[in-house]
Chain A
Amino acid sequence: MLAKWLVARIHVLSKQHLMIIGMIIVGSIILITVLAPFIAPYDPVNYQDGGRLEPPSLKHLLGTDQLGRDVLSRIIYGGSVPLKVAGIAALIALVTGMIIGLFSGYRGGITDRTFSLMMDAMYSFPGLILAIVIVATLGAGIFGMVFAISFVYIPTYFRVVRGQALQIREQEFVEAARAEGASGFRILLKHIAPNTVNSVMAVLSFNIADAILTEAGLSFLGFGLPPPAPDWGFDISNGQRFLLAGDWWLITFAGIAIIVLCLGFGMIGEGISDLINPKRRRKRA
């Protein structure tokens, strides 16, 4: 039974080229990051003997930075923080947003109105600014960034899930379940929640990509992690002042790394969107 289900799923998935490529990209980067200690040619923090601001060469494939560190090694290790921060923040936002959204959408009435108002208030607050203020309060560091980013994204999940919850609760099988005496909690869990998973997954993908960009943006503006930990966002902000001196390799590769990772997540998101909207699948013969 399970095998048949799996095969059917894989058959469907295999037609989603976009999503597969996205998953390969993300998977590779995660793999590289995990295997960093074995792949990176030099220590990203303590090796400082590469010569100052050397352009890419055979010895240092992507060049060195102003403290003599190897850029390639820093890029290999540098995905760890963005992935962790973005991933954890997005998950926290998802769980929180979903819970509040389901609750609010199902209950309706004043509860719903209140929560919607609060979420609207948070939503109308420009995200990056809110994140900056929170980081400035909690201090730079993983905890501060995770908290800031997750806080900013809760309204997004809330909206998606609430919308779905409002829609679904009017449907017949929910009425039926209620008539059978099922409690609200059970209905939420068994009937409504699973139906929101699809849209939430799509949002999650884009969300992680956006969170990575936010984390990089925070680092760029000076609210990111303290040195000398390798981090793509930090390395870009670090390399900014050398751009006009012609030392392009400090920014370029870290930027490309961020783009590729976000691209991967974006493609996954697109692929999932395609999946859940059957109308959009191929129509031409």
Chain B
Amino acid sequence: MSLKFRLIGIGMLVLVLGLVLSLGALPQEKVLTIGTTDRITELSPANSYDFWTWHVFRQTTNGLVTIKPGTSEVIPALAKSWEISPDGTVYTFHLRQGVTFTDGAPFNCAAMKWSIDRNLKLNGPKGGVYLISMIKETKCVDDYTLQITISGADTTFIKRLDNPPAWAYSPQSTPADEFANGKWAGTGPYKMIEYKPEERVVYQAYEGYWGCNDKIVTAEEKAIFCPKIKKVVEVFYADAAALRAATEAGEVDIGFRTFNPDDILSMAQNPNLKEFKAASSVAIRYLVFNVTMAPFDNPLVREAIAYAVDRDAIVSKVFGGINKPLYTMVPPGFAESENVFPARDLAMARDLLKQAGYTKDNPLEITLSFTPKHYGTTESDVAAVMKTSLEETGVIKLNIESLEWGTMTDRMSKKDELPFFLLGWYPDFLDPDNYLAPWLTESTVSLGSFTTDKVNKKFQDMERYETDEAVRALIFAAWQEYMAADWPYEPFSLVLKAKLAGVVSMTTHPAVRGLAQEAINEIPWESTSSEVPQPVVVIPLWQNMAQMYAFTQPNITGVVLDVTTYFRDWLVDKK
């Protein structure tokens, strides 16, 4: 027995000594380490559609255009300039010359055309290729001029090009007929040299990157494109707590996506950490109604809930004030954003419910569904607060249902299974269209709203045809007002009518004018019993700021967190 004791003792001693005298392998060059809780799914531009996978592509290749860091302005990338035909369907891009892929192959129109055609053809089931599915034809006018024809004028098209399905991939290293699955070469700034699933991605700067080449870019452009640190390691952590611990312990230079709101609050007080955050967030959270399921087929019920939700309680109790309440689906980062949802008014909520036939003796009994992990760990708290807020009316009885993600998506897609639920959203491209169309016109099934209000389609078509910014802003203002109206409790406002009339008079596109006029004709200004309008299909709740925070070690500069939510590894520098 004592021998055993001794052995154990020695073993422990060795271990302790080892801990105390530990050495790590020392790196020779400057390496940037970034920690995140996100994950990569499949590294195929034609078969992926999630944040970090697309982030990896963003570090390793470019598209025709991109967004200027810190703004929402579209600027040239691989295309140094472009023109749009008068009817809005033909885009002609003039490509930069002297650009090479990281495998040495030359970049030219043939390569760009090949990349786009390839992705359109492969169009993977998991992928976001449908974002550019309006492309009818790509044509090389000459070696450095690419012409793209789309199926109908769409002002959102140019912004949609800032996504991996529309980027450049080397025909020499990227498979033509199957998903890339990690095999590709882009134009840089980095090359991915290692990917260990669930663990890390490692990048090495490409020496021949066009964005560092003074002969190809201006000094101003070089500052935006050329990488400052040559080697980057992105590490995946299991959850927000692990990420926080690692950031505070100095294990990573930068921690980004996604900290717990409470961790953000206390880390902001930590003098050893630098905080970066975006001014606003384009990630939002909201409630969805399946407007075909009772009692939510009654607009009065939906509007009552819109009056009864307590955004302030959610923001302060669940998030300690980190997030910001949202009164329209289009977040304030966009100029077109207009607050159209009402402030909390319990009396109004009770009144609406009374009109719908619900009283204290005959309360409205409903179930709110949410998913406990997919959107972070705070959803259950949100549901709990929602329950208290809605029940405060005295006329609502709310049950909470927790659904695991797979089950939730399943029920969401069936016509009569999920009446009322919490969901989250981040944009596919930076345009207010992407905050209204998905639930109102484009994906009413996969997003569970099942709305059939055709007036929404008119708004969508209007804003997609319209090219004048001011008129477009007016269209969006009108659309937001329409979808948040208190009809039939109150008739549609005259302000809305005036806005539509304004569109009719200001627009220079006959198609838009026609649509606006049709909208004016179809909206039941006087009547309260039309079947068409289905207002308040969704209720915006808050902007998710938690995803827009990065905490770094004090010697880090160059972290830009803007409306795009992109993280540009190449801008970061370390003293």
Contacts and interface: CB of A to CB of B under 8 A. Distances in A.
Nearest to A223: B404
Nearest to B260: A241
Contact of A67 (B240, B244, B248, B381): B381
A228 interface: yes
A240 B241 contact: yes
Interface stretch (B220-228, B383-391, B566-574): B383-391
Interface residues of A, number: 28
A68 B317 CA distance: 8
A222 interface: yes
A136 interface: yes
Contacts of A226: 372, 380, 383, 400-402
Contacts of B380: 226-228, 238
A225 to B, nearest CB: 7
Contacts of B373: 222
Given A136-B404, A140-B402, A228 B262 contact: no
From A46, A68, A222, A246, residue with most partner B Cβ within 10 Å: A222
A139 B381 contact: no
A244 B404 contact: no
Contacts of A237: 377
A221 to B, nearest CB: 8
Chain A's interface: helix, strand, loop or mixed, by majority? loop
A67 B382 CA distance: 10
Contact of A53 (B241, B262, B372): B262
B263 to A, nearest CB: 6
A242 interface: yes
A184 to B, nearest CB: 44
B149 to A, nearest CB: 46
Contacts of B265: 245
Given A67-B385, A139-B407, A227-B384, A243 B241 contact: yes
A46 to B, nearest CB: 7
Contacts of B404: 135-136, 139-140, 222-223
B310 to A, nearest CB: 12
From A53, A66, A135, A242, residue with most partner B Cβ within 10 Å: A66
Contacts of B406: 136
Nearest to B242: A244
B318 interface: yes
Contacts of B372: 140, 222, 226
A17 interface: no
Contacts of A199: none
B381 A227 contact: yes
Interface string B375-416: 001001101110110000000000011111011000000000
Interface in B228-256: 240-241, 244-245, 248
B383 A227 contact: yes
B372 to A, nearest CB: 5
A140 B381 CA distance: 16
A246 B266 CA distance: 9
Contacts of B317: 48, 52, 66-68
B224 to A, nearest CB: 36
A242 B402 contact: no
B320 interface: yes
Nearest to A67: B317
A281 B171 CA distance: 79
Contacts of A241: 240-241, 260, 262-263, 377
Contact of A139 (B385, B400, B403): B403
Given A48-B317, A66-B317, A139-B403, A245 B384 contact: no
B384 A242 contact: no
Chain B's interface: helix, strand, loop or mixed, by majority? helix
Interface in B397-442: 400-404, 406-407
Contacts of A242: 260, 262
Interface in B281-335: 316-318, 320
B387 A225 contact: no
A238 B403 CA distance: 17
B563 to A, nearest CB: 27
B178 to A, nearest CB: 31
A225 B388 CA distance: 18
A246 B263 CA distance: 10
A45 B381 CA distance: 11
B384 A228 contact: yes
B409 to A, nearest CB: 12
A68 B384 CA distance: 12
Contacts of A247: 262
Contact of B263 (A46, A53, A66, A245): A245
Contact of B381 (A66, A135, A244, A245): A66
Nearest to B240: A241
Given A139-B403, A243-B241, A228 B387 contact: yes
Nearest to B264: A245
Interface in A199-246: 222-223, 225-228, 237-238, 240-246
Interface in B45-73: none
Contacts of A227: 380-381, 383-384, 400, 402
Interface string A66-87: 1110000000000000000000
A46 B240 CA distance: 28
B400 A228 contact: yes
A192 B21 CA distance: 62
A276 B383 CA distance: 50
B472 to A, nearest CB: 41
Contacts of B320: 52, 66
A136 B407 CA distance: 7
Contacts of B263: 241, 244-245
A139 B407 CA distance: 8
A52 B388 CA distance: 16
A66 B373 CA distance: 18
B262 A66 contact: yes
Interface string A244-274: 1111000000000000000000000000000
Interface string B538-558: 000000000000000000000
Interface of A: 45-46, 48, 52-53, 66-68, 135-136, 139-140, 222-223, 225-228, 237-238, 240-247
20 contacts: A46-B388, A48-B317, A66-B381, A67-B318, A136-B404, A136-B406, A222-B404, A226-B383, A226-B401, A227-B384, A228-B380, A228-B383, A228-B387, A241-B241, A241-B377, A243-B241, A244-B241, A244-B245, A245-B263, A246-B266
Closest 3 A/B residue pairs (Cβ): A226-B402, A228-B384, A241-B260
Given A222-B372, A226-B380, 9 more contacts: A66-B320, A66-B381, A136-B406, A222-B373, A227-B402, A238-B381, A241-B241, A241-B262, A241-B377
